[in-house]
Amino acid sequence: MSELILDIQGLTKEFILPNKETLTACDQLSFTAKKGQTIGIVGESGSGKSTLVNMLMLMETPTQGKIHYREKNILNLNRREIWQLRPNIQMVFQSPTASINPKMKVIDVVTEPLFNYKRLKAKDKRKKAQELLALVDLSEEYLERYAHHLSGGQCQRVCIARALALNPEILICDEATSALDVSVQKNIIDLLINLQKKNNMTILFVSHDLALVQSFAHEILVMQNGVIVDRLSQEQNLNASEVTYTQCLLNSVYSLSKVKQRLLLEN
């Protein structure tokens, strides 16, 4: 797990608001990611997590800073080079239903990226779609369905299958499990862990849930107001973090044992 895949230095994004004030959504962010590593990016709503990953996807232009993917500065690419880069960095979004065209069947959703990149022949479409669904533990009976005939969890599996179609080296998940039931969320995370082991992908997993991310990320970046305020390794006991904000996030986790403890103290 030593190969450096992503090197981000001083990444900053300022938005100019309608009242001409400047909002710094991301402020001098620096971190690296290695091949096969899962980085958790955690922080409350509005802390700049989506802006950060949108810059990595080249959906937002940084005000300042560098993004190197495999030693290549991806902020200087021309359109053709961006097209060539895209398959390597793919993203799964929070709302699975909103990110699937409701008029398309699952078979077309998951194979679309391959046709766009001319990596699939029409005659091989069904077989490839089946393979992709198998990766996310969905049987071929789902191939002919539309998004509105799927549960939230099944829909997110389809989105993951689509993101995996081009065999990306980096998978970015922006609150990809936040809209799902807790049990479904766990299944999707188990799925991602297995996929990562198989494909040796690098995963950037964005979430507001620190306890969840800690269960599987190798490293966690804690963001507050656009700044990385804490960096934690998996081995590190989160409770030992000296950063008050990390403690606040931890304390905001609803835990039955904590409630019981408090009730005992009060009585």
Ligand X SMILES: Nc1ncnc2c1ncn2[C@@H]1O[C@H](COP(=O)(O)OP(=O)(O)O)[C@@H](O)[C@H]1O
- List contacts with Mg ion (CB under 5 A): 50
Residue 170 and residue 74 in contact, taking contact as beta carbons nearer than 8 Å: no
- Bridge-based pairing of strands 202-207 and 219-224 is unpaired
Q: Which of Mg ion, ligand X, none sits in contact with 15, Cβ below 5 to 8 A by type?
A: ligand X
Strand order in the sheet with 72-73: 22-34, 4-16, 64-69, 72-73
| C-beta closer to ligand X: residue 50 or 90 | 50
Choose the one of ligand X, Mg ion, none that binds residue 51, judging by a C-beta under 5 to 8 angstroms depending on kind.
Answer: ligand X
User: What tokens appear for 234 in the block?
Assistant: 């998996």
Of 11 and 143, which has the nearer Cβ to ligand X? 11
CA distance 61 to 67: 11
SS3 101: coil
User: Looking at this protein, which amino acid is placed at residue 232?
Assistant: L
- CB-wise, 13 or 157, nearer to ligand X? 13
In the shown chain, the binding pattern of residues 23 to 62 toward ligand X, with x for contact by CB under 6 A and - for none, equals x-x-----------------x-xxxxxxx-----------
Nearest to 235 by CA among 221, 222, 219: 219
Which of Mg ion, ligand X, none is residue 152 near (CB under 5 to 8 Å by kind)?
none
48 touches which of ligand X, Mg ion, none (CB within 5 to 8 A by kind)? ligand X
| Beta carbon of residue 70, minimum distance to Mg ion (angstroms, whole number) | 26
CA dihedral over 90, 95, 96, 99, signed as positive or negative: negative
* Residues forming the site for ligand X (CB under 6 A): 15, 23, 25, 43, 45-51
